[in-house]
Amino acid sequence: MLFDALTLQLGYNAALVALGASALGLAAGVVGAFLYFRKRSLVSDAVSHATLPGLALAFLAMVALGGDGRTLPVLMLGSALSAWIGLLVVSWLTRRTRLREDAAIGAVLSVFFGFGIVLMTVIQSMQSGRQAGLDGFLLGSTAGMLRNDAIVIAIGGVLVLAVVWLLRRPLLLTAFDEGFAEVQGINTHRLDLALMTLVLAVTVVGLKIVGLILIVALLIIPAAAARFWSDNAVRVVLLSGVFGAVSGHVGAALSATAPSLPTGPIIVLVATALFTVSMFFAPGRGVIAGMIRHARMRGRVDGI
């Protein structure tokens, strides 16, 4: 049954979900690698949590206008807007106050998420608007995924990858040496905003499949796992994309084999498994390789 799921033969919906999830994983892995190089992985946590109020407000706005509150593109737009505001607040707090980025991230994450939860509670108590399933965006819910949803996700992923490819040189240069990049004429502040916008795009695209709480895992874990295998930035980026895509595909397939397995969390668990294997068994930077090196070194020192 798992084999059927992996080879997309477990029904139309399962195949859609698996394809969408691997496209999302690929985009998240690639963007996440640049985020990891820039040492800004945690900003993605603030961005993703900051989507919730926008998501809820978009729903409320659609219901107020008399429509179905769950139209995906509109929900994505609302999420993107509020995540963008959250991002600007983090950026502003870090630049204009003495707050460090970690504190700014914590503040934005909790305030936005708290506000979003309040709005969600209001929505749950409403009588109309077909709010059932809206809380699926917290942890991902693929049960009712439509062909159009999958297309939106795929197009979003392709756009994100195209922009990353375009900006690959300045992104790497800035991640390694910000001062040098500035002197080359790269506006590093604007480039950072561009990178965060890509993160935002991945988050919004991933709302349906992984949900806003766990998308951060798909942005961080594949990159962290890939780093164990290579000292070459380009290879780390590619491998991170592959890890992300494999996590998405295998996770979606696994969750399709049983009715109650949630897709998002399973995808994250698959990514975590890849990370664990990488951490222990990667040659060079892996834990076991390091232990062997250390033991050999000790043997040599003792032998003298």
Partner 1 sequence: MAYEASMTEATLAGSPFVVRGLTVAYDAEAVVQDVDMTVSAGSMTAIIGPNGAGKSTLLKAALGIVRPLAGAARFWDAPLAQSRRRIAYVPQRASVDWDFPTRVIDVVLMGLYQELGLFRRLSARHKQAAMACLERVGMQDFAERQIGQLSGGQQQRVFLARALAQGADLYLLDEPFAGVDAATEAAIIAVLKSLRDEGRTVVAVHHDLSTVAQYFDHVFVINRHRVAEGPVVEAFTQTTLDAAYGGRVRLSD
Question: By CB under 8 A, is residue 184 in contact with partner 1?
Answer: yes
Residue among 110 and 184 whose Cβ is closer to partner 1: 184
Residue among 61 and 234 whose Cβ is closer to partner 1: 234
CB-based burial label for 194 (10 Å; 0-12, 13-18, 19+): middle
Residue among 72 and 289 whose Cβ is closer to partner 1: 289
Question: By CB under 8 A, is residue 40 in contact with partner 1?
Answer: no
Q: What letter represents residue 220's amino acid?
A: I
Question: By CB under 8 A, is residue 303 in contact with partner 1?
Answer: no
Question: By CB under 8 A, is residue 236 in contact with partner 1?
Answer: yes
Question: By CB under 8 A, is residue 39 in contact with partner 1?
Answer: yes
Residue among 68 and 177 whose Cβ is closer to partner 1: 177
Which stretch, 72-80, 214-222, 226-234, 267-275, contacts partner 1 (CB under 8 A)?
226-234
Alpha carbon distances (Å) from 66 to 56, 70, 130: 15, 12, 11
Question: By CB under 8 A, is residue 230 in contact with partner 1?
Answer: yes
Question: By CB under 8 A, is residue 179 in contact with partner 1?
Answer: yes
Question: By CB under 8 A, is residue 173 in contact with partner 1?
Answer: yes
Distance CA 126, CA 63 (A): 10
The minimum distance between CB 161 and partner 1, in angstroms, equals 15
Q: How many residues of this chain interact with partner 1, rule: CB under 8 A?
A: 25
Residue among 68 and 102 whose Cβ is closer to partner 1: 102
Contact pick of 32, 157, 170, 244 for partner 1 (by CB under 8 A): 170
Question: By CB under 8 A, is residue 233 in contact with partner 1?
Answer: yes
Residue among 235 and 296 whose Cβ is closer to partner 1: 235
Which stretch, 164-172, 194-202, 258-266, 267-275, contacts partner 1 (CB under 8 A)?
164-172
Contact pick of 117, 163, 167, 269 for partner 1 (by CB under 8 A): 167
Residue among 77 and 172 whose Cβ is closer to partner 1: 172
Q: What does the binding site for partner 1 look like in residue numbers (CB under 8 A)?
A: 37, 39, 166-167, 169-170, 172-173, 175-180, 182-185, 227, 230-233, 235-236
